[in-house]
Structure 1
């Protein structure tokens, strides 16, 4: 039974791993911004770039699921 779902389990595990990595990157960036006393505009730029990276990852996942559901991938 487990062998049937191994690819799906790996995919979910990889997605959770990337979510954890994005969380830890965010915590590290937050710490660096606080210790460096970065102005508000700089903080907005940094968080905007980080958000766009996460949004791209989520968009990739949604496209992948929709393609696999329609039989393309």
Structure 2
């Protein structure tokens, strides 16, 4: 297997692992907030922060694709 193929596989596995981690964190946050009867605004803030973190990784991936495509 070439080094480029290994890097491509590692990139895919990293993205899948990060997505799974965000889903597990979301489930843990949901469980804690449900057990402690958190108000809706608190839930909105917690999910918003988690969502913005995940969105940051998506934007980072898109920016990397643009850089790779332009040859930078």
TM-score interval for Structure 1 and Structure 2 normalised by the shorter chain: over 0.9
Residue-by-residue CA offset, 1:3-33 (whole Å, 9 max, x unaligned) = 2411111101111110110010000000001
The runs of at least 4 aligned residues of structure 1 exceeding 2 Å deviation read none
TM-score by length of 1: 0.91
Q: What stretches of structure 1 of length at least 5 have no aligned partner? A: none
Counterpart in the other structure of 1:65? 65
Alpha-carbon distance in 2 for matches of 1:42, 1:65: 35
Number of residues of Structure 1 aligned to a counterpart in Structure 2: 71
- Establish whether residue 23 from structure 1 lines up as the match of residue 19 from structure 2: no
**Greater RCO, 1 or 2 (C-alpha within 8 Å, sep 6+):** 2
